[in-house]
Structure 1
């Protein structure tokens, strides 16, 4: 069943609410990722504040496995989410700082919310859908002279945008530590 909630975005109040809601969703997703990672007891994750800090959204380490993750998290209600090049570069710079870690990854985390934003003739509304999360390894983009914008679609396909043209690219999926725990629990319950 598709339910459409409608409101008019032509008012100043509507625009401010939209901006604050979008920001809150992002903070909430980052906070949830940190909490999930820290629950694994072998990973230590911290969220860095604000978009103007010059740092990735999240830095996580597993000292036992000598693994470092820098995470840029995006969440939204549209069918496409984008990561600009400067945010991918921030993640890469942090990887360069920590030389002792053998495995280092830039992870792009995408969360598509259960509400899909629909626009029509100056009005905007939402249709309900299933929540999707994707975790993509962006390391192969770091060797390019110019890091492109990355686009992820609701169905998990990824694209790079170069000169305003989207080209399909297969970024590897990364299994997050909390996903491994969930898989082990499901396997254990079936046994």
Structure 2
């Protein structure tokens, strides 16, 4: 039976240290997250070498990712090879070290962008960014994004597994420590 690991459900209670380890090991590694997703397509992996070749990762990086996922309880070694035992891994931003999460997301975003073929005709490249100026609206937006991603994860679980598409959404608060007083519209 596969289980869900989430900070906002009690489906599988885990100690805080486990969640911290998950945040540090799982969230910040493109290789670990990609290999985790590989198990959604290939239910059991018999050869780490074959998996590494198909994902274009080094065997060393793949072995490290498998070992990390196994320690985290996401994968389990069986007689036939490795298989995934946690069905869903989702946790929103609440309770995380926001600076660490942002650094991890930025690194993963760059890794993803560097790996993608920037050919819009193949529809395999997407990027959107903006700067917002209202904190309340941003908080509402991030909650909507969390809800959207959770729904997407559930819908994705029911859909055919035919590709690994990396998506990363990040945000950072940028502000002036001492904001200027209101500027009047005057000619210079």
TM, length-normalised to structure 2: 0.22
User: Comparing both structures, which one devotes a greater share of its residues to helix?
Assistant: 2
TM, length-normalised to structure 1: 0.22
Higher relative contact order (CA 8 A, sep 6+): 2
Larger-gyration structure (1/2): 2
